[in-house]
Amino acid sequence: MFVIVAKTIISLICAGLVIAILVYRQVIEKWLAQYNERLVLAGAWSITRLLPFLLIFVVLDFTPFSDLDGFFGQAREAVQLKMVYRDFHCMYSPVFPYLNALALWFWMDKKAIILLMILMEGLALWTTNHFYEKQLSKPERLYRSLIYLLSPGSLVFCVLGGQEDEWMWLMLVGAYLVWQRTQRVEWFGAGLVVGFMFTKAVFILVGPALLLLVPKPIRWIGSAAIVGLICLAILIHYTEWLWLDQPLHEAATLRAPNWLSVLNPLTFNVLNAGAKGWNWIGLLATMGGGTWLAYQVRHLDFPRAFSAVFVVIFATMMVAQQSAYSNYIFIFLLPLTFVWIDFRNRKEVSWFLVFNVLSVVHPSLWWRLKSPYYESPAAILAQPIYGLDYALQVGVVICTVYFLRFVWKKALVF
C-alpha cells in the first residue's frame, strides 16, 4: 500500500502546484515572455523530470515495477537480437522492444527504460509546442507546458510508471511537422505507419478520421499503403501471423475502469464481460465517433481539428474498450492540456485535476488487489477496499465521458 499512498500524496502535491501556477498566472506569463523558449522548456523539463528521476532512482535507488517488468524483459530479448513475436512475446508494436533495447545497451537496468521514456516525453512536449505555434502565443504555450509537466497524470505515469502512451501523439505530430517542412503530405502518410510500428495497434484508430482532415487524401493514403505493405511483408516473412495474434490477445484482456467494468456488476454479469463482440462494438464506437467528429470539424485548421479528433478517439477508447484502463489518459493529456482546458475556468480546472488524480491512483490500487472484476453488487461490498476501487472506477469513467463530451462540444463551436 506504500506505493498507493505515495502516488496519492505526489498527485495531491502536483495538483497543489498547478493551482499555485494558476493563481499567479499573469506574473508567470509575463516572466515567461522575457526568456528564450528552448531555455524555459529545457529548464522546466529538467526540474520536473530529470531531477525526480535522479532523486528517486539514483539517490534513493528505488526499483521500478509494473509495466517496466514487461518492457525490460522484452528489451533484454531484443538486445540479443531475437525476433519479436517469434522468439519472445510482445503485446506492443514490433519496433517498440528494440527501441527500449537501445537504452539497455548503455545501462542494463529497468531504470534505463524510464530514462528513455522521460526523453521521449520531452521530445513530445517540444514537438507539441511547435505544433501549436500558430494557435498559441509563446507565453501561453510555455505556461501550458508548465501545467502539463506538473499535472499528476504526466509526472507519475512518466517518471514513476515509465509509460509510453504519449508516443502515439509524438509520432503523429512529428510526422505533421515533417509534412509542413517538406510540403509533402506523403511524409505524413508514412508517419502513420511508422507510428504504428513503434507504439501500439490502437494507433491505427486515427486513420479513418485523418482521411477527412488531410488535404490530398489519395496521396496521403497511397504513401501509407506503400510503406505499410513493405512493413507487412517483412513482418509476415519473419513472424508469419504472430504479429497480429499477440496484440489482439491483449485486446481481449479484461481491465478496469471502462463502461463494462462499471456496469457489469450492476447487471449481475448479464452483459457477459469478456465476450469478443464487445471488442468489436468498442472498436466501431471509437473509430465511428472520431470519424464523425472529423467530418464535422474538417473546416477548422488542421492542428485544432486533429487535436479534437485525437482526444475524442482515445477518450472513447478509454471507456468503450473492455481492455482499457486509466493509464490511457496519458495518450491524450498533451492536446487536452494545450487546447481544450480553459485554465481561467474553475469548473474545468477542477474536473481536470480530479481526472488526473483519479487516473493516477486507481491503477496502482487495482493491480495490487490482483485486478478484481466484479460480477455483482455483493462482490463490490465484500470488502471496503473493493468499494473504494469501484468508486474510483466510476469516478474515472464519469470524468472521461465528461471530457469526451466537453471537447466534442467545444470543437463544434470554433
The pLDDT score that the predictor gives to residue 274 is 86
| DSSP percent split of the chain into helix, strand, coil, nearest 5 | 75, 0, 25
Report helix, strand or coil for 84: strand
- Across 205-242, b (16+ Cβ under 10 Å) vs e yields bbbebbebbbeeeeebbebbeebbeebeeebeeebeeb
How does residue 246 score in pLDDT terms, banded at 50, 70 and 90? low
The pLDDT of residue 216 is: 87
pLDDT digits (tens, 9 = 90+) for 256-310: 999 999 999 999 999 989 888 999 999 999 999 999 999 999 999 999 999 999 9
pLDDT tens per residue, range 372-412:
999 999 999 999 999 999 999 999 999 999 999 999 999 99
Q: What is the pLDDT of residues 174-213, one digit of tens each?
A: 999 999 999 999 999 999 999 999 998 888 899 999 999 9
pLDDT category at 352 given cuts 50, 70, 90 is very high
The single-letter DSSP state of residue 82 is P
Please report, as a single letter, which amino acid is at residue 315.
A
User: What pTM did the predictor assign?
Assistant: 0.97
pLDDT tens, 95-131? 999 999 999 999 999 999 999 999 999 999 999 999 9
Tell me, rounded to whole angstroms, the distance of Cα 194 from its chain centroid: 17
What spatial distance separates the first Cα and last Cα of the chain, rounded to whole Å?
45
Across the chain, what does the average pLDDT equal? 94
Domain boundaries along the sequence of the chain: 2-412
Q: What pLDDT is attached to residue 135?
A: 94
Distance CA 189, CA 302 (A): 15
Under 8 Å between Cβ of 312 and 306:
no
DSSP 403: H
Residue with cell 505526489: 10
Please enumerate in sequence order all residues whose Cβ is within 8 A of that of 130, keeping only pairs 6 or more positions apart, or say none.
Answer: 177
pLDDT of residue 247: 66
For residue 248, name the pLDDT band (cuts at 50, 70, 90).
low
Report in angstroms the alpha-carbon separations of 397 from 260, 262, 404.
Answer: 10, 8, 10
Task: Please compute the mean of the pLDDT values over residues 238-251 and round it to a whole number.
Answer: 76
84 forms bridges with which residues in the sheet?
A: 88
Residue 67 pLDDT > 80: no
Tell me which range, 29-33, 64-68, 241-245, is most confidently predicted by mean pLDDT. Answer: 29-33
Alpha-carbon gap, residue 399 to 343, rounded angstroms:
17
φ, ψ at 39 (rounded to 5°): -65, -45
Task: Please say if the pLDDT value at position 244 is more than 90.
Answer: no
**Cβ-based neighbours of 189, under 8 Å, separated by 6 or more:** 219, 220, 221, 222, 223, 224, 225, 227
- Give pLDDT, residue 207: 93
Distances (CA, A) of 161 to 108, 113, 242, 381: 18, 10, 28, 30
CB atoms within 10 A of CB 12: 15
Q: Is pLDDT of 414 > 80? A: no
pLDDT at 29 over 80: yes
Sequence letter at residue 69 = D
